[in-house]
């Protein structure tokens, strides 16, 4: 790729109708197919960070994540493709540097620094960021998960501008609210946005989205008006972030057999499980809990398939069922 003439090429995600639930008017947008290693919404979130780093002549991208972080893996891949040194601050001094995700990062020349959970929790402190700049030089620091107005900027391109008013509902999984914020800003006032939380107690995500929206709108009333279109579903985290069970694994394998679409087990897989349950169980189909099945709905596949190997390795050690397809 000629990154000088086309530093971040425009790519259009393929779409397909979903008939997994009868009568549903669902369209799946395959952001997982935007790039083989800068996966899904990470392709969106990292775009303007990379362009800023190129413009400001930074030579290093530094970011944060857990031991199985899609964001770390995608940042490592972006650094390798666009010619940046990359540094990953990894949560937990006991993180296994040889797990599939962190091995991928190292194979793409990312320098990994494991830190205590206490130190990691202070990653937003300005004094800590100053220390990172002193240690690592001319570095662009990217927040965990790309949770920043530059990340939102990229996510505003998920729904094309010409489709601003086309969808009754747009559905996305998330852990920081960055993707949902971008979708709110790029869709019309009649579109409901559904955020399926990958974390237990995901209602806090509304505050995250509020802060991100304010960076664009600078008006509290305008922010609250946008938030009125945001619906957060917190019922399908399967015990918390990164947790899975046999029921979810069976669903992922069954969904793949019927549709030939691979889902990751942390984000899109849990969202699709929740949507499918609501579509098949009328008691769960309340419009206040899930998007109506018959409404014109765009569902975003946010990628993250690299995480399958790590989940399978963990489950294999416990002699549990595995995901039967690869990321």
Q: Is the pLDDT of residue 282 over 80?
A: no
Give me the percent of the chain exceeding a pLDDT of 90.
Answer: 87
Beta-bridge mates of residue 112: 88
- Domains of the chain (ranges; CATH) run 15-39+149-317 (3.40.50.1100), 42-146 (3.40.50.1100)
User: For the whole prediction, is pTM greater than 0.85?
Assistant: yes
Distances (CA, A) of 54 to 47, 148, 283: 11, 18, 51
Interval 54-86: pLDDT, tens: 999 999 999 999 999 999 999 999 999 999 999
Residue 313's pLDDT is 94
Q: Is the pLDDT of residue 281 over 80?
A: no
At CB < 8 A and 24+ separation, what contacts does 267-270 make? 267/70, 267/173, 267/174, 267/175, 267/198, 267/302, 267/304, 268/32, 268/40, 268/173, 268/300, 268/301, 268/302, 268/303, 268/304, 270/173, 270/196, 270/198, 270/236, 270/237, 270/238
Residue 292's pLDDT is 86
Q: Is the pLDDT of residue 133 over 80?
A: yes
Residue 279's pLDDT is 79
Residue 39's pLDDT is 84
Interval 177-198: pLDDT, tens: 999 999 999 999 999 999 999 9
The answer to whether the beta carbons of residues 327 and 306 sit under 8 Å apart is yes
Q: What are phi and psi of 18, to 5 degrees?
A: -105, 120
Residue 4's pLDDT is 45
Interval 46-57: pLDDT, tens: 999 999 999 999
Higher per-residue confidence, 201 vs 205? 205
Distances (CA, A) of 291 to 136, 265, 278, 318: 46, 21, 9, 36
Task: Look up residue 122 and give its DSSP letter.
Answer: T
Q: Are strands 169-174 and 139-141 parallel, antiparallel or unpaired?
A: unpaired
Give the chain's mean pLDDT: 94
Q: pLDDT band for 100, please (50, 70, 90 cuts).
A: very high
CA distance 292 to 299: 13
Token couple for 131: 């220390």
């Amino acid at each position: 790729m000629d990154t000088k003439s086309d530093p971040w090429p425009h790519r259009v995600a393929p779409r397909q109708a979903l008939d997994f639930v009868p009568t549903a008017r669902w369209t799946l947008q395959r952001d997982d197919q935007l790039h083989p290693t800068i996966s899904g919404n990470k392709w969106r979130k990292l775009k303007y960070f990379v362009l800023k780093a190129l413009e400001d002549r930074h030579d290093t991208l530094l970011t944060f994540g857990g031991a199985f972080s899609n964001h770390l893996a995608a940042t490592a891949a972006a650094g390798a493709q666009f010619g940046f040194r990359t540094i990953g601050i990894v949560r937990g001094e006991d993180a296994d540097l040889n797990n599939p995700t962190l091995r991928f990062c190292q194979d793409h020349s990312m320098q990994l620094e494991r830190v205590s959970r206490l130190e990691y929790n202070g990653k937003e402190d300005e004094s800590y960021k100053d220390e990172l700049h002193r240690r690592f030089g001319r570095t662009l620091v990217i927040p965990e998960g790309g949770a920043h107005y530059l990340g939102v900027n990229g996510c505003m391109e998920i729904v094309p501008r010409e489709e601003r008013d086309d969808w009754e509902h747009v559905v996305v999984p998330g852990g920081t609210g960055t993707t949902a914020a971008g979708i709110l800003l790029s869709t019309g006032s009649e579109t409901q946005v559904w955020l399926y939380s990958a974390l237990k107690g995901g209602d806090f995500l509304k505050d995250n989205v509020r802060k991100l929206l304010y960076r664009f709108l600078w008006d509290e009333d305008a922010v609250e008006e946008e938030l009125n279109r945001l619906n957060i579903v917190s019922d399908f985290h399967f015990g918390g972030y990164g947790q899975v069970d046999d029921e979810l694994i069976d669903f992922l394998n069954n969904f793949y057999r019927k549709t030939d679409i691979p889902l990751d087990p942390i984000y899109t897989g849990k969202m699709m499980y929740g949507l499918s349950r609501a579509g098949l169980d009328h008691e769960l189909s309340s419009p206040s809990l899930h998007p109506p099945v018959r409404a014109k709905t765009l569902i975003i596949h946010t990628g993250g398939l690299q995480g399958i190997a790590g989940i399978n390795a963990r489950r294999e050690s416990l002699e549990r069922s595995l995901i039967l397809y690869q990321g």
